[in-house]
Structure 1
């Protein structure tokens, strides 16, 4: 039996592709190349692909958990397994993770805006404008957010053809020699690849809002495949354009690639990259804020609007002291570690717990049937 909210609040199964993919495509796509090369260097493409493949197994585990949750989300699953109090605490820990996700996306993009476009504008002003816009969109509900996320599907994909220009200056010897790194170095690159693909975890809250939930699985897997393919293409072009020494000292490789593009009527194509990426960032933040609002409504009992403004206010307060560019690296490290714990630690443990509960309940029911 499907577990979903009122039909007027739900979205079609294929829109899960947009919701997951749009949340995964964030600010890290502008910077991820210089991070994943830590370890396996140019061979890190294989590590990134391996992480992308592993996400399909994580998606399968998430669907298993959600199908066994009373209301089809992580909140009800926590309450069922751990009781109301401990379950609410664990859900609020996931809320803290969501806050970290939003802050990481927002602070990374604000640094790009501050360095490349508006160097004399205060970061708190940019953050406030961004959060007010996101809050306005989230107040319209999940269907409005899904409409905004549709732009996120189009934007990164349309930018792929522009990679033809840096590809004309490719140095294919940059990839040689292949497979000359240890398993530890491949694992290190895989670890740093994770933050680029984070966002699938919001399925744990979105599932009750999907119609025909059994048909939504293929769209979730398609979203992960789409989100893996785009960074792989960008990384491949970046590795062919930059050598390893250049990549290690380049902060925003994707934006540097855009500076190669020249048209008679357009000199600074990188500005188009930056401002179009606004839709990508705000889409991910909107899903995060929506998830935070839903958690506060279900655990604390706050209504939607107070929950929305409380979440926005907390993010804004966290952002205020983060003026140093070094905070971006610390945020990414914290986000990567939290993501690994959640996706590769906590979710598999929950799957084991749920499986054991089902097995014990089945064993108990056998004597009663006899």
Structure 2
């Protein structure tokens, strides 16, 4: 319910577009093509469209679920459905999910900086800079976080027209034959696609901070459609430029596409891509840290300062513990599986429990009358 938060701390409904879309577009945009193409290959775009459509159903479920929560967020709903002890325990589990989401952005980005730009830069320096800036943003409150999401969606979009250059060299025969894969291949590609679509679940935390939140649903749908279209454009460009054999051996396809761009006054356009991506990962870092801090303050009654410090320490510890590219890939697989279970398993289960509880209340009320 929007009334549980002061209006001065709330944001306009249209900001939901940037909050949802900003969290969905992160570091995974640089290499999702290679993973998605493992199943349906040149038909992987079908799986992207399917997962995008499923996310619209998730948005419908999330808004319906949050309207049934008296406090308007997942933390209050946990307490209502499972009691203070079990409910707080479930909320703390979500704290670790938020930490994983932030770590899953910072560590791969630090690896890209190390490989492409500064091979001698220590891992802790890059991670500390990103976390220090993100922590400072989160300390300003949710309105500041929302403003950063807006800026970090608009500014990186300015490099999107650069996809025109690889499209000039696209081989459209790479998409043939069409519809040549079995159902299991499309399912495999769809499962790999879920990782880059994660993000709408954070509505469970910031829903009360949106003005007229019941009417903000259309902006969430626009955000998911925006994300789906963006991934579809990048995937089609990649599939047109690379054949399947090349794509299987390309680690960061989006960055490789940027390397073919040349200007008389700029030799390494890929550097702009790399440093631009720091803005791309900021929304998910800031929103996930903010959500983790809110969990600690609402469930464990930490002060805001201690909650923020604890969250940042846990994240930096996890980032520094991932020393190899193999460990980074394992982390991404863990996030993908946990996120899939949360979105397509736990949220629907919670939805059914909340509906059942509401039905029981109505029947009891009817009997008493």
- Alignment correspondent of 2:236: 236
* TM-score, normalisation: structure 1: 0.98
* Residues 309-355 of structure 1 deviation map (CA, whole Å, 9 limit, x = unaligned): 11000001111121101112101100110011000000111111111
Structure 1 contact 4–211 (Cα < 8 Å) conserved: no
Structure 2 contact 2–210 (Cα < 8 Å) conserved: no
- Alignment correspondent of 2:333: 333
* Aligned-residue offset at 1:150: 1.6
Output the CA distance in 1 between the equivalents of 2:268 and 2:2. Answer: 50
- Alignment correspondent of 1:57: 57
* Aligned-residue offset at 1:117: 0.5
- Alignment correspondent of 1:26: 26
Output the CA distance in 2 between the equivalents of 1:40 and 1:22. Answer: 27
* Aligned-residue offset at 1:138: 0.8
Output the CA distance in 2 between the equivalents of 1:267 and 1:275. Answer: 15
Structure 2 contact 13–212 (Cα < 8 Å) conserved: yes
- Alignment correspondent of 2:357: 357
Output the CA distance in 1 between the equivalents of 2:229 and 2:348. Answer: 25
- Alignment correspondent of 2:119: 119
* Aligned-residue offset at 1:2: 4.2
Structure 2 contact 114–121 (Cα < 8 Å) conserved: yes
Output the CA distance in 2 between the equivalents of 1:44 and 1:30. Answer: 16
- Alignment correspondent of 1:163: 163
- After TM superposition, the runs of 4+ consecutive aligned structure 1 residues lying more than 6 A away are none
| Secondary structure of the corresponding residue to residue 233 of structure 2 | helix
More displaced, 97-106 or 318-327? 318-327
* Aligned-residue offset at 1:106: 0.8
Output the CA distance in 2 between the equivalents of 1:180 and 1:346. Answer: 34
Output the CA distance in 2 between the equivalents of 1:191 and 1:64. Answer: 25
Q: Is residue 227 of structure 1 aligned with residue 242 of structure 2? A: no
- Alignment correspondent of 1:214: 214
Q: How large is the Cα RMSD of the aligned pairs?
A: 1.0
Output the CA distance in 1 between the equivalents of 2:188 and 2:19. Answer: 29
Structure 1 contact 157–230 (Cα < 8 Å) conserved: no
Contiguous gaps of at least 5 residues in structure 1? none
More displaced, 328-337 or 155-164? 155-164
* TM-score, normalisation: structure 2: 0.98
- Alignment correspondent of 1:81: 81
* Aligned-residue offset at 1:3: 3.9
- Alignment correspondent of 1:261: 261
- Alignment correspondent of 1:145: 145
Structure 2 contact 152–282 (Cα < 8 Å) conserved: no
Q: Is residue 46 of structure 1 aligned with residue 46 of structure 2? A: yes
